[in-house]
Amino acid sequence: MIFLTATVLGVTAVALRSVFSIVFICMMIIGAYGVAITVSSTAVPLMSLLLALAGYNFGVVGVVISLLVLQRPRSTQPTL
């Protein structure tokens, strides 16, 4: 669930088309993990942070690759 939520955050960050928003959302993920560490009375697993960052990067890279594939010029002209 963490991976899926982070992937959706990555896709929506790219939809904003702002480098600032992409970096800011990534920093918010890390900040939320930091708050969880300070507030929690038990240990917070590091794997959840790594899953969130992997999901976020997967969403960002997935959108960028799909945009590159869609904008690739065609090798043949379409016939009418």
Q: Would you state the pLDDT for residue 73?
A: 73
Cβ atoms 26, 59 nearer than 8 A: no
CA-to-CA separations, 28 to 6, 20, 55, 67, 73, in angstroms, rounded:
11, 12, 14, 25, 37
Is the whole-model pTM more than 0.85? no
> For residue 41, is it within any domain?
yes
Residue 19 lies in a domain: yes
Q: Does residue 80 belong to any structural domain of this protein?
A: no
Q: Is residue 58, in this structure, part of any structural domain at all?
A: yes
Give the chain's domain count. 1
Say which amino acid occupies 71: Q
44 is in which domain, residue-wise? 2-70
Residue 5 scores a pLDDT above 90: yes
